[in-house]
Structure 1
Amino acid sequence: MKTLALLLLTTLSLFASQTGQWTQSLDGEWRFTKVFNPSEDDWSPITVPGNWDSTEEHKDHRGIGWYQREFTPDSSLQNKPLRLRFEAVYHEAEVFLNGERLGSHIGGYTPFEFEVTEKVIFNQPNILTVRADNTYQRGAWWPWGGISRSVNLIANNPLRLVWQHIRTEPDLEAGTAEVFVKYRIENKTDAETITLLNSTLPGDSVPRLKTWVKVAPNSTKDREVSFTLSKDEVRLWHFDFPELYTLNTELLFGGKLQHAISDRFGIRKIEVTPTSFLLNGESVRLVGFNRVSDDHGPSGNTEPIELLRKDIDLMKQAGCNMTRIMHYPQHPDLLRLCDEKGILLICEIPVWQHDPQIIRDNPLTKQWLTEMIHRDYNHPSIIGWSVGNEMYDFYPYAISMMSFIRKELDPHRLVSYVSHLAFQKQGADEPINETDIALINFYNNWAGFTEIVSERWPDKAIFVSEFGHKQEKPNGHFMDGFEEMWHKLTTDRPRLVGVSLWTFNDYRSDYKGTPEHGYRTWGVVDEKRNLKPCYYTIRKLYSPLQVLKVDNGTLTVQTRQPTQTPSYPLRGYKILWENGELAGELKLPTLHPGDPAHTQQLPSEAGPTPTLHLITPLGYKIDDTKFNQS
């Protein structure tokens, strides 16, 4: 009965609710082979979500892999429109159901789905087969192959909400906020329908929005409406105060619920001038880490939630509050954590260097942008989109993709690309003039290159999306002179509004220069998340304080200057003191960049020289008077 066990003939778990949507998970044990053959001896068990190259047997396999499983659809899904949805398959996927080809998808980090209403067979097992190909590789990260995110069979009523896109416009002077909601409604019936949409916030006794929408047969219809939040209701989203709201929307027809969805959103305002990055009207200069979706062990790039929580906490503990996170769309759980923990993100599609996708009006990269932005639109942590990284001969491509985002997808966020040539070429060779913010990578002469970009594009603020150096094992220190280069880069730079270190973590690679152990050692933590000495170094450099000390029981703290990085107002911060026996907390007043030093007497029981920790409003210790660099 080996085949029965491997193919999971039992009915899978069904997630049903009163929302008008039923989801049957197809995650779990599948079968895998590199060469397709119906003989069961050629297959081995594999877990989905997962990567074949996280297994010992297939750890170096580059090419085609076949997945297969059987499932019996739950009877409650019958007589409803059915979709088969994949959250991600790297990089090319071809999907078959009961031997019939459903279609294909190119792109390893975004979701896709197929209509299967007439193809699923009820009351008996169905055979689902996926051909995946990870030959395509961009960048220095590992091309983890296979079905890396969840697979679901989804049923809805014939009328459903495809999505609701939520954006906000706070009035910082009045304290109010306008909330705009754009709905997409799908009608799978043969008749025109007039549907009612009701949207509420938790605690509402009456809907915030109530609108009727006429939808033609077998089509979709978009509708945008808005409502106002009063001053008493507005809580701004900020990296130290990541306030979130939930909008619940019901779609009704004939007085009966057809579909209900819920989405979180935040209220925040982003503005960029040539010399400032404004969050909710305040000038801030922020810091962060690029993070590679990579784990030493069985999870590959599947991003288990425990790993994501650990990484985000370690990044926040080191002062991270803004980053161009990585070169491809991120796992939805990571985005949710950044919403909750307060990290501003610029998100990107995987186009890199001499990429075959660098073509004007490329339909494939438009598809990637559409899939990413439609999925991730409501995340307040995302403040911008990037169309590629370190590209060559890309002017027509970049112009067309940035225009596509602004005209078709999202005109309300920052749009840019990442350059590694802006300080080498003349200004006419790069479309930085068309960006909302200059994103620059460099790995030497940090201060000099920043000055060149500032002079060539005096109307653009600069965010350094990559800088850094490898830290070889076993000592794990930054290179000699790192701190001196840092201070030259970040001191008195009015056009520099932030930086992001490459990288947070070591990651698997076969790129040139990778050590024999197979991991690029550019991280401040290794592939197993052990902290290197350079983690403590960058944590100190990322502190918003230039002075944190105690002398004979007197606390002194001083913020950095307004043109230093990082610098931002400290609101709701505390000092934790410890002397080995006792501990206590002191609330700090609001401190702004450039304020004079603040002094405060510690309680007598603290003693003359306790250890001090700077605590954020979210409880992270981001600086202290003693830290380990050994």
Structure 2
Amino acid sequence: MGIAIPSLAQKTTLDGTWSFRTDPTNVGEQQGWFRPETNTASWDSLPVPGNWDLRNEYAHYVGKGWYRRTFTTPTRSNNNVARLLFEAVYHDCAVWLNGQKLGENHSGFLPFEFDVTKRLNANGLNTVVVCADNSLTRGAIWNWGGIRRPVSLVVSNPVRIVRQHITPSVDLSKKSASVSVRVFLQNHDNQAAETAGTVELTASNGFRRSLPFKVSLPASSMASVVVQTTVTPKETHLWHFDDPFLYTSNVTLANTGEKQSNRFGLRKIEIDNKAYTLKLNGEIIRPMGFNLVPDDRTTGNTLPTWRIKEDIDLLKNLGCTMTRLSHLCLPEEVMDYLDERGILIISEIPLWGFDRFADPASATSKDWLTRLITNQYNHPSVIGWSVGNEIGYFPKVLPYVEKAIAYARTLDSTRFVSSVSHTGQFNPDIVDLGDIGLVNRYGQNLGPTTRQQHEKHPNHTLFYTEYGITQLDENLDGKLNARLLVDSIRNIPYLIGASLWTFNDYRSRFNGTKEGSGNRPWGVVDVYRRKKQAYFAIRNEYNPLRSLTLNASATSANVTLTPRGVLDLPAYPLHGYRLVWKRTDAAGKIGQGGLISLPDIRPGDAPKTYALNWQPDNAFAMTVELITPTGDVQADTTLFLQKPLPPKITYTNGGRSYFNGTNGGGLIRIHFQKDPTATAYKARFGETGLTQETPTTINDFIDIPKLPFGKTYQVALIGINGAGETQSAAIQRIKVDSLPYAPPVIQHVEPADGGFFIGYASPETDYIYRVQVTSTSGDYTNVRTVETTNPGALFVSQLTNGQPYFFRFQRVTDSWTDSDWSEERSVTPDGGQKPAAPVLQGIIRDGNEAVICFESVPKATGYVLDYQPEGSTTWLRQSISAAQTGRFILTGLDPKKTYQYRLATINPTGQSTYSTSLTGKPNDKVQRKR
């Protein structure tokens, strides 16, 4: 159950390029496409992990897709066991090895494996074939097809560790804990076996226990053994979303040396349905969160490490503390990072709506629930299980939920179990069957419907697993009235939190999808994770403080922190938070700054004011940040001291919009390079002077619509920040031509392995999208042209990694009219390439601590921080796991010494070069380049 790969086992990855063929008429099995001798000369090639929907030619394909590859049997002893492991294939699949069917799997989100010990060709070539079928859809989420997660062959000893289940129990009154570890073992041999081993428990606080065990395993059987220990108050460090401290359990078999390692946390969750409270480690919390749709338009639902980390880092920046994160079962890699970063999760099996699997007789839903709980049992981030979402109208739902909850409790008695309801206005309802009332509701004023649900189900504490108003826009200017929405559910004692639908926009076929691109725009970020206006609006409402205000003079300021009220949302105690202030230049480099360790702040506390002082300078801006113990900026305010730098226009176009009329059918489009000194932009324009202006935008383009054809306009771009406005250096004159259409709006360009993606808006009048690619800037006489009718995104393939390319983009309307070409852009395919070095913005030092501030690198999976006392020749090293926070808190410094610092980026290929190093004295406010 699940994928466990102990160390010392021999693992062979089967990731890479596989042969691929669609099967729209469902003849593949009948024609024997699974046979090793099948001729694949006409087959395509696709990457694994991957989704076929990411390729232009398969972007809308639904049905069966066949994958196959060969591999060599690894060297092994006669009694070794070989297993073929799949992390996930969407959604239904059958697998063959050397022409023999191994079996089927019917979940697109859960791992599975096959014992292939007797199926491998001895010292020869093997052919593995997978037929994946993405016909089954789950809710409004895109049914990405293919082998979406890694595949591997693992060879191990006949007696092996299957998994371990770690069950901590915390005694808050004694400030101690106990830990029980059940080790599951399997004997694949036809002879009984005796085995011994050790469970080694460790933590960075010095905790260590070595717990031996012995177990007898009959032939061809599984068995388990339990070991237990206590954790003293000195050794007990509780896991919290602001302090996700982890312990490690290493299981080792004595006779083979095989090991398996899992992390766990000590934490206590309590729900009181009489007092309507949720407690974490004895403290009342009223948490807020977001739903995540775990996919995007450039990696589908393959979830590479950089996508996992960027999403979770952004969620932490938004103040996400608790959520039913996804309808879908998430991979182990995601769960590990949630444990590490600290978010409370309700994990759910993917039952949704009028679902035939919401039946007490369904073997499928039981199988999914069994595998979900078995796989995610050790994760401290998981505090509860959900047996379905919005299934209240299915005729057999009440007996299903009752049976599923009872069954889940037999698998895990340490977490709450419920089912998410959108029928809480009825009684009876599935709300009454669970341990907590998980409910979904939409509307800008949720107060009355919340009270109605409470009246129907007064014995349950309520948590909104989904709430929101409506779809926004994929345009970054899409707004959300977050204050009105969240205020409507604040100060309701029996409602302890809520999770917004959604964090991100997502591709969808579902009825009512608003955008022609096929992107369903519920998110506060778009499908490429660009931040919308809604991002900043909801982040302000999720601030753990009621407000953070800055009142500054020439060389001093007062910062006032106003805590949340007791029944506010969110509301929870703040322990170990820091206040960071910095004065920066136009490039964001820190000139002066400071660090204040804050006392505990609790809901209902009085406001606190802190005085700041600095030397006279010519800073461009001053920023104050509230930073969590995990290094996440939860709140900030910036005072701009100078107007923005003049913005730079990169491209202009005057032509026809999609409007077919002749009077007012013209459009001027301005593309520009966004600058960190501006927070918004607008254009001024007019025929004889700059007499009119557009609304402000955070996009990198501005449209001026409804203009008459044939006229010439003066246009200037304006950058805006809190200190004022700055006009672009040159006023441009643009004629509105009646013939050409404006080119597509390019939303995103992303380098990829062997090519690149373009994301774009897709008005309803668009028919074809055309891109021309060249290796010589400006030379489009000898180019490669790619065309597609796919809305929203396309992929340009068969390019050389590491080589720069240049491209321009065009659309063809449904009247077969070509638009103008876009401006030229450049991109370098990044497969197998090391990442760019990060830019260090500055080091803010106070005593034995330093806050490392840097610009995060796209697609980073982490960083390496080197530091050394000045004069030393030996660098000390600190790994940074977070990928997109831009902050790291370094502790344990000698408060009397000056240190040098340098930073490098990590990705799956390797490590970048180092940044320019910085140095600073203890409590020094200025960092100097080396």
CA distance in 2, matches of 1:103, 1:421: 39
In structure 2, the residue corresponding to 1:41 is in which secondary structure? coil
Pairwise CA distance, 1:550: 2.7
CA-to-aligned-CA distance 1:541-570 (integer Å, 9 cap, x gap): 000111211335222112111111101111
1:564 pairs, out of 541, 562, 568, with 568
**Counterpart of 2:496?**
497
1:399 pairs, out of 398, 402, 406, with 402
Pairwise CA distance, 1:493: 1.3
Are the counterparts in 2 of residues 273 and 459 from structure 1 also a CA contact under 8 Å? no
Are the counterparts in 1 of residues 90 and 145 from structure 2 also a CA contact under 8 Å? yes
**Counterpart of 2:22?**
34
**Counterpart of 1:71?**
71
Are the counterparts in 2 of residues 65 and 146 from structure 1 also a CA contact under 8 Å? yes
**Counterpart of 1:455?**
455
1:603 pairs, out of 613, 618, 637, with 613
**Counterpart of 1:279?**
280
CA distance in 2, matches of 1:166, 1:616: 28
CA distance in 2, matches of 1:486, 1:236: 30
CA-to-aligned-CA distance 1:154-194 (integer Å, 9 cap, x gap): 12211111110001111112121100111111122233333
Pairwise CA distance, 1:77: 6.1
In structure 2, the residue corresponding to 1:293 is in which secondary structure? coil
Q: CA 1:320/1:450 → structure 2, altered by over 3 Å: closer, same or farther?
A: same
**Counterpart of 1:383?**
383
Which amino acid in the other structure matches residue 217 of structure 1?
A
Q: Which sections of structure 1, spanning at least 5 residues, go unmatched?
A: 1-15
In structure 1, the residue corresponding to 2:442 is in which secondary structure? coil
CA-to-aligned-CA distance 1:107-128 (integer Å, 9 cap, x gap): 1100111111111012221111
Pairwise CA distance, 1:251: 2.1
CA distance in 1, matches of 2:149, 2:271: 35
**Counterpart of 2:173?**
173
In structure 2, the residue corresponding to 1:231 is in which secondary structure? coil
Larger strand proportion, structure 1 or 2?
2
1:593 pairs, out of 590, 593, 603, with 603
CA distance in 1, matches of 2:413, 2:222: 22
CA distance in 1, matches of 2:616, 2:405: 56
Which amino acid in the other structure matches residue 407 of structure 2?
F
Structure 1 residue 521 and structure 2 residue 509: aligned? no
Are the counterparts in 1 of residues 76 and 155 from structure 2 also a CA contact under 8 Å? no
2:239 pairs, out of 237, 240, 245, with 237
**Counterpart of 1:100?**
100
Q: CA 1:104/1:606 → structure 2, altered by over 3 Å: closer, same or farther?
A: farther
In structure 2, the residue corresponding to 1:368 is in which secondary structure? helix
Structure 1 residue 80 and structure 2 residue 80: aligned? yes
Which amino acid in the other structure matches residue 567 of structure 1?
A
Are the counterparts in 2 of residues 447 and 485 from structure 1 also a CA contact under 8 Å? no
Q: CA 1:108/1:114 → structure 2, altered by over 3 Å: closer, same or farther?
A: same
Which amino acid in the other structure matches residue 293 of structure 2?
V
Give the structure, 1 or 2, with the largest relative contact order (CA under 8 Å, sep 6 or more). Answer: 1
**Counterpart of 1:269?**
268
**Counterpart of 1:52?**
52
Pairwise CA distance, 1:348: 0.8
Which amino acid in the other structure matches residue 82 of structure 1?
A
Alignment of 1:146-185 (within 5 A): 146-185=146-185
In structure 2, the residue corresponding to 1:591 is in which secondary structure? coil
Pairwise CA distance, 1:292: 0.7
Pairwise CA distance, 1:325: 0.8
CA distance in 2, matches of 1:327, 1:432: 18
Pairwise CA distance, 1:485: 2.8
**Could you tell me the percent identity over the aligned residues?**
39
Pairwise CA distance, 1:250: 1.2
TM-score normalised by structure 2 residue count: 0.63
| Bigger mean CA deviation after superposition, 552-561 or 33-42 | 33-42
Pairwise CA distance, 1:614: 1.1
**Counterpart of 1:622?**
634
**Counterpart of 1:260?**
259
Alignment of 1:174-323 (within 5 A): 174-202=174-202, 208-252=210-254, 256-257=255-256, 259-274=258-273, 275-297=276-298, 299-323=299-323
CA distance in 2, matches of 1:264, 1:473: 38
Which amino acid in the other structure matches residue 34 of structure 1?
T
CA distance in 1, matches of 2:136, 2:297: 22
Pairwise CA distance, 1:476: 3.5
In structure 2, the residue corresponding to 1:538 is in which secondary structure? helix
Pairwise CA distance, 1:605: 4.4
Which amino acid in the other structure matches residue 285 of structure 2?
V
Are the counterparts in 2 of residues 361 and 400 from structure 1 also a CA contact under 8 Å? no
Are the counterparts in 2 of residues 54 and 300 from structure 1 also a CA contact under 8 Å? yes
Are the counterparts in 1 of residues 439 and 465 from structure 2 also a CA contact under 8 Å? yes
TM-score normalised by structure 1 residue count: 0.92
**Counterpart of 1:584?**
594
CA distance in 2, matches of 1:431, 1:511: 25
CA distance in 1, matches of 2:368, 2:130: 20
**Counterpart of 2:475?**
474
In structure 2, the residue corresponding to 1:164 is in which secondary structure? strand
Root-mean-square deviation over aligned CA pairs: 2.2
CA distance in 1, matches of 2:376, 2:581: 41
CA-to-aligned-CA distance 1:582-624 (integer Å, 9 cap, x gap): 2222221111111111122223549999532211111111112
**Counterpart of 1:5?**
none
In structure 1, the residue corresponding to 2:297 is in which secondary structure? coil
Q: How many equivalent residue pairs?
A: 605
**Counterpart of 2:779?**
none
Structure 1 residue 574 and structure 2 residue 586: aligned? no
Are the counterparts in 2 of residues 81 and 117 from structure 1 also a CA contact under 8 Å? yes
**Counterpart of 1:12?**
none
Q: CA 1:340/1:206 → structure 2, altered by over 3 Å: closer, same or farther?
A: closer
**Counterpart of 1:416?**
418
Are the counterparts in 1 of residues 5 and 260 from structure 2 also a CA contact under 8 Å? no
CA distance in 2, matches of 1:206, 1:411: 26
Q: CA 1:224/1:202 → structure 2, altered by over 3 Å: closer, same or farther?
A: closer
| Bigger mean CA deviation after superposition, 319-328 or 603-612 | 603-612
Pairwise CA distance, 1:362: 1.8
CA distance in 2, matches of 1:20, 1:199: 16
CA distance in 2, matches of 1:484, 1:111: 42
CA distance in 1, matches of 2:293, 2:248: 30
Are the counterparts in 2 of residues 157 and 258 from structure 1 also a CA contact under 8 Å? no
Q: CA 1:178/1:50 → structure 2, altered by over 3 Å: closer, same or farther?
A: same
Pairwise CA distance, 1:258: 5.3
Which amino acid in the other structure matches residue 329 of structure 2?
P
Larger helix proportion, structure 1 or 2?
1
Are the counterparts in 2 of residues 53 and 59 from structure 1 also a CA contact under 8 Å? yes
Are the counterparts in 1 of residues 202 and 209 from structure 2 also a CA contact under 8 Å? no
**Counterpart of 1:110?**
110
Which amino acid in the other structure matches residue 619 of structure 1?
G
CA distance in 2, matches of 1:110, 1:241: 29
In structure 2, the residue corresponding to 1:602 is in which secondary structure? strand
CA distance in 2, matches of 1:158, 1:434: 44
Report the structure number with the largest CA radius of gyration.
2
Pairwise CA distance, 1:270: 0.6
Pairwise CA distance, 1:247: 0.6
Q: Which sections of structure 2, spanning at least 5 residues, go unmatched?
A: 585-590, 640-678, 681-696, 698-930
Q: CA 1:583/1:77 → structure 2, altered by over 3 Å: closer, same or farther?
A: farther
Pairwise CA distance, 1:259: 2.6
Are the counterparts in 1 of residues 272 and 461 from structure 2 also a CA contact under 8 Å? yes
Are the counterparts in 2 of residues 470 and 478 from structure 1 also a CA contact under 8 Å? no
1:612 pairs, out of 612, 624, 644, with 624
In structure 2, the residue corresponding to 1:195 is in which secondary structure? strand
